[in-house]
Structure 1
């Protein structure tokens, strides 16, 4: 979970270029919807990040179809926009989960319900295929006005610690358990928003599984730190150094930083217990 910068592009020009590149009659339908679409763009920016209760633009069914078609059947301007959104170094890693490569574009407000935002750059979030599939068309939680997912382009991720992981070794197995906690001073609504995002994207289990894979790759470094002298303190130092590096780049709630710090505090893991993580990482 992290924030990403908006793409520096004129959304009006993008819409006009894509509309011009479409064939008739969709070109004419997009141009006829232009005023309402641009008004909707302004409303989105004014409301962001709380865009979950925006009124839908009053477009005809044919106009809606034309704008959706502009995203799904790409013209050269849409292909350029997709590349510009996805190929930035700042979005290489999925902002929804922080695990996988950003390889798709998610419509934060779904294009089926809000076709006016189908080619709106600020509504197109680079993300991984897993998060895109899990997010689907979700906007607001059932019976609430709390958005189910963070908007990486507008929501500010709190600096206070809210992600935690418990680690223990039982019967030659490492147990990892990620969860969210509400720190003192965090507004309840903020925590509910974070928790919904965390739960809906199944991040607890995804962090757990990817944690084992990561530890398998880290094993040689831990083995060297432990050495023939079986230096558990050096293993803990190695993990803390790694956590600090992750925190400097990705913030205090980055899932790997939390894992490293938790393992550094686990005496059993540092004193040779990392051997079990190696075994669990293997297929």
Structure 2
């Protein structure tokens, strides 16, 4: 979970170029909807990040189909926009999960329900295929009326520490358990938002699995730190250094930073227990 910058493009220029590149009759239908879509774009920007209850634009059935077609059947301007959104180094890693490679664009407000935002750059969020699939067309939690997912371009990730991981050794196996905790000073609604995002994207299990895979790659480094004399303190120091590196780049709630800090305080892991991850290499 992390914030990313908005891409520096003019949304109306993008809309006009894509519309002009379509064939008739869709070109005419898209251009006829321009005034309504311009108003919708402004409403989106004005309401962000709380865009979960935006009214739908008044478009005809044919205009809605044409807008979805503008995204689904790509023209050169749409291909250029996709490239502009995905090529940035800052979005190489999925902002929804912080794990996968960004290989697709997610419509934060689904294009099936909100076709007016089908080619709106601010609504197109670089994401991994897993998050895109899990997110689907979900917007609001029916019970709490809270948005289920953070909008990486508009929501600010709280600096308060809300992600935690428990690590323990059990029968020569390393057990990881990620969870969210509400820190003092965090508004209940903010925590509900984070919890919905965390739960719907199955981040607890995805962090657990990727954490074990990652540690398997770190076994040689941990073994060298431990040395022939069994220096558990040196292992803990190396783990803290790694945690600090991750925190400096990705903040205190980055899932790997939390994992390294937890492992550094796990005496059994540091005192040779890290051998449990060797089988994962």
TM over 0.5: yes
Superposition TM-score tier, normalisation by shorter sequence: over 0.9
Residue 117 of structure 1: aligned partner: 117
Q: 1:277 offset after TM fit, Å? A: 1.7
Flag structure 2 segments of 5+ consecutive residues without an equivalent: none
Displacement of 1:278 in angstroms is 1.9
Match of 1:251 in 2: 251
SS state of the match for residue 164, structure 1?
A: strand
Distance 1:45 1:141 in 2: 22
Q: Give distance in 2, aligned partners of 1:143 and 1:137.
A: 17
Q: SS of the counterpart of 2:140? A: coil
1:178 alignment counterpart: 178
Q: Please identify runs of 4+ aligned residues in structure 1 that moved more than 2 A.
A: none
Distance 1:91 1:38 in 2: 27
- SS class of match (1:94): coil
Give the whole-Å Cα distance in 1 for the aligned partners of 2:170 and 2:131. 32
Paired with 1:165 and 1:134, the residues of 2 have a C-alpha distance of: 23
Q: TM-score, normalised by structure 2?
A: 0.99
Deviations 1:33-74 (A, max 9, x none): 000001000000000000000000000000000010000000
* 2:264 match: 264
Counterpart in the other structure of 2:192: 192
Matches of 2:127 and 2:214, distance apart in 1: 21
Tell me, in whole angstroms, the C-alpha distance in 1 between the residues paired with 2:132 and 2:63: 25
How far did 1:144 drift?
2.7
Alignment partner, residue 98 of structure 2: 98
* Structure-2 separation of matches of 1:5 and 1:123: 12
Structure 1 residue 199, shift from structure 2 partner:
0.3
Task: State the distance in 2 between where 1:277 and 1:204 align.
Answer: 19
Partner of 2:163: 163
Name 1:153's counterpart in structure 2: 153
In structure 1, distance between residues paired with 2:173 and 2:89: 37
- Structure 1 gaps, min length 5: none
CA distance in 2, matches of 1:15, 1:145: 31
User: Displacement, 1:102?
Assistant: 0.5
Aligned position for 1:80: 80
Count, aligned residues: 281
Structure 2 residue matching 1:174: 3-state secondary structure: strand
Counterpart of 2:229? Answer: 229
Deviation at 1:209, TM superposition (A): 0.2
Q: Secondary structure at the match of 1:144?
A: coil
What SS is found at the alignment partner of 1:9?
coil
Matched, 1:47 2:47: yes
CA deviation after TM superposition for structure 1 residue 143, in Å: 2.8
Distance in 2 of aligned mates of 1:140 and 1:271: 46
Structure 1 match to 2:6: 6
- CA offsets 1:130-157 (integer angstroms, 9 cap, x no match): 0000000000001332000000000000
Match of 1:108 in 2: 108
- Once the two structures are superposed, residues 252-282 of structure 1 have per-residue CA deviations (whole angstroms, 9 ceiling, x without a partner) of 0000000000000000000000001222x25
Which whole-Å CA distance do the structure 1 matches of 2:182 and 2:92 have between them?
29
Shift of 1:229: 1.2
Partner of 1:33: 33
With the length of structure 1 as denominator, give the TM-score of the two structures: 0.99
